[in-house]
Amino acid sequence: MKEEINRDEVRTLYDKLGGNTAIRAVVNEFYDRMINDPVVSSVFDGVDLVSLRKHQAQFLAYALGGPVKYDGSTLRESHTGLNITDRQYEATIRHLNATLRKLNVELEDRAKIEAFIRSVKPFIINQ
Ligand code: HEM
């Protein structure tokens, strides 16, 4: 990560939620919500579904402070040319929150995750 981002606040949540099995359940739920929402699914037009699922896993691992494998590109670089809007970002946050709520992640942890995700918003929207 080349951006100056503080991930310490969320770093333990990935482990706390129960590692791989739990994360997979979160990914499946989040993915279903995203592909069924025309506000955000259009961003993934022309992106294959394997790639989308991989993205959801990376997004969540990142959000939860887990290990994320980067091939050197920054969040800004990864999203350049996608023109992700404020509305689409907010919709994604709503899907994330709904997913975490459904999987019984407590409010305090959901708030931390949301705050963290908001902190990287400038790198992702309107690029
Ligand atoms: C904290 C928020 C986010 C993180 C950490 C994140 C992470 C990433 C990463 C790591 C990649 C590169 C994937 C790769 O090279 O294989 C990527 C690509 C991408 N992201 Fe995100 N993302 C975020 C938010 C979003 C949002 C809100 C959207 C749209 C609603 C979005 C749509 C995409 C798309 C369409 C790609 C290209 C996928 C592809 O061509 O394979 N991202 N993202």
Closest ligand 1 atom number to CA of residue 125 = 27
Give residue 85 CA to ligand 1 midpoint distance, Å: 13
Check if the beta carbon of residue 124 is closer than 8 Å to that of residue 77. Answer: no
Give residue 51 CA to ligand 1 midpoint distance, Å: 10
Pocket test for ligand 1, best of 34, 50, 55, 113 (most atoms within 8 A of CB): 55
Distance of CA 49 to the CA centre of its chain: 16
Which phi and psi angles does 53 have, rounded to 5°?
-65, -40
Give residue 2 CA to ligand 1 midpoint distance, Å: 16
Closest ligand 1 atom number to CA of residue 34 = 30
Q: Phi/psi zone of residue 106: left (φ > 0), alpha (ψ -120 to 50 degrees), beta?
A: beta
> ∠ CA 58-88-23 to the nearest 5 degrees?
25
Q: Encoding tokens for residue 74? A: 């920054």
| Residue position matching structure tokens 């939860």 | 64
| Per-residue tens of pLDDT for the chain, all 127 residues | 556 677 666 656 777 877 667 777 888 999 999 999 999 999 998 889 888 888 888 888 888 877 776 556 788 998 999 999 999 999 999 999 999 998 888 999 999 999 989 999 999 999 9
